[in-house]
C-alpha cells in the first residue's frame, strides 16, 4: 500500500477543516443564496492556510453542489430553498393531522440523532433559548406554540441536514395546529405541561451530550405521546 507524503496529508487535513467551516457557514445562512464568496486570497488569509488548500476546499463544496463558479467572477452560494417543491396543501381534517404526525415520526427522531452527532455551540444556544421560553411558559401554566416549534426546528437545524429543516419549515402551519390542540389538552391534565417540558429538556440534554441513540428514542417517545394524547392509540 502506498503512503501519501506528509505534505499532502497536511494539505488534505487543512482542506477538510476549511471545507467543514465553509459548509457550516453556508448551511447556517452566514452566506446567502447566490452570494459571492470571498476570494481565494481572502479566504486563505481568514483561515491562515495556503491558496491551494482553499482551492481544494472550494472544489469539494462545488462537488457537493453547495457553490457554483462564474468564469472571471468567483464562487457563489447555490440557492437550496426547497419550500416551493415541498409546499404542502392546507390542513383540512383530522386525518391530515394524523398523517402529519406519522411523517414527523419518520424524520424527527433521526434528525435528533444527527443533531446529537453534529450540533455546535450556536445550535445548542438556539435550542436552549427555545427551552428557556418553554420553561417560562410552563411555570405560568401556559403553552407557547412558537417556542415549541422553535425547539423542534432547532433540532432539525442542529442536524446540519438542510432537508430536515426545510421539511420542518414547510410543515410549520400544519405542526402549529397539532401543537395548539396539544397545548389545550395538556392544560386539561394534571401536570401535563410540566411533563412535556421535562421531555423537551431530556431531548436537549441527549443532543448536548452527543447521545444519538438516546436522542432518537426520546424524540420518538415525545412525538408518540403527543399524538396519543390527541387521538386514540391505534390498535
Ranked by mean pLDDT, the top range of 70-74, 83-87, 103-107, 183-187 is 103-107
Q: Does a structural domain hold residue 83?
A: no
Q: Taking a C-beta distance cutoff of 8 angstroms, is the pair 111, 222 a contact?
A: no
Our measurement of the distance from residue 118's CA atom to the centroid of its chain's CA atoms, rounded to an integer in Å, reads: 10
Q: Whats the size of the chain, residue-wise?
A: 235
pLDDT value of position 84? 41
Q: What is the pTM of this model?
A: 0.62
Residue after which a domain boundary falls, among 14, 43, 77 = 77
The percent of residues above 90 in pLDDT, for the chain, comes to 44
Compute, in degrees rounded to 10, the torsion defined by CA atoms 139, 142, 147, 149. Answer: 130
Looking up residue 170, the CATH number of its domain turns out to be: 1.20.120.530
Could you give the angle at the alpha carbon of 111 between the alpha carbons of 65 and 169, nearest 5°? 70
Our measurement of the distance from residue 25's CA atom to the centroid of its chain's CA atoms, rounded to an integer in Å, reads: 14
Domain that holds residue 28: 6-77
pLDDT 10s digits, 161-201: 988 988 888 888 888 887 877 666 666 665 878 888 999 99
Amino acid at each position: 500500500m502506498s503512503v501519501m507524503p506528509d505534505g499532502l496529508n497536511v494539505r488534505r487535513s487543512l482542506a477538510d477543516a476549511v471545507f467543514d467551516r465553509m459548509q457550516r457557514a453556508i448551511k447556517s445562512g452566514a452566506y446567502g443564496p447566490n452570494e459571492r464568496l470571498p476570494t481565494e486570497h481572502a479566504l486563505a488569509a481568514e483561515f491562515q492556510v495556503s491558496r491551494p488548500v482553499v482551492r481544494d476546499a472550494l472544489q469539494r463544496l462545488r462537488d457537493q453542489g453547495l457553490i457554483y463558479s462564474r468564469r472571471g467572477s468567483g464562487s457563489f452560494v447555490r440557492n437550496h430553498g426547497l419550500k416551493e417543491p415541498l409546499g404542502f396543501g392546507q390542513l383540512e381534517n383530522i386525518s391530515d393531522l394524523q398523517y402529519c404526525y406519522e411523517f414527523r415520526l419518520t424524520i424527527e427522531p433521526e434528525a435528533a440523532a444527527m443533531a446529537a452527532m453534529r450540533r455546535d455551540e450556536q445550535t445548542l444556544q438556539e435550542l436552549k433559548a427555545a427551552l428557556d421560553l418553554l420553561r417560562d411558559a410552563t411555570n405560568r401554566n401556559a403553552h407557547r406554540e412558537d417556542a415549541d416549534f422553535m425547539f423542534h426546528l432547532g433540532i432539525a437545524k442542529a442536524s446540519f441536514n438542510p432537508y430536515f429543516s426545510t421539511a420542518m419549515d414547510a410543515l410549520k402551519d400544519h405542526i402549529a395546529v397539532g401543537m395548539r390542540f396539544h397545548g389545550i389538552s395538556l392544560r386539561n391534565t394534571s401536570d401535563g405541561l410540566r411533563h412535556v417540558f421535562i421531555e423537551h429538556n431530556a431531548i436537549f440534554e441527549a443532543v448536548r451530550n452527543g447521545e444519538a441513540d438516546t436522542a432518537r428514542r426520546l424524540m420518538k417517545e415525545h412525538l408518540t405521546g403527543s399524538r396519543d394524547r390527541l387521538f386514540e392509540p391505534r390498535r
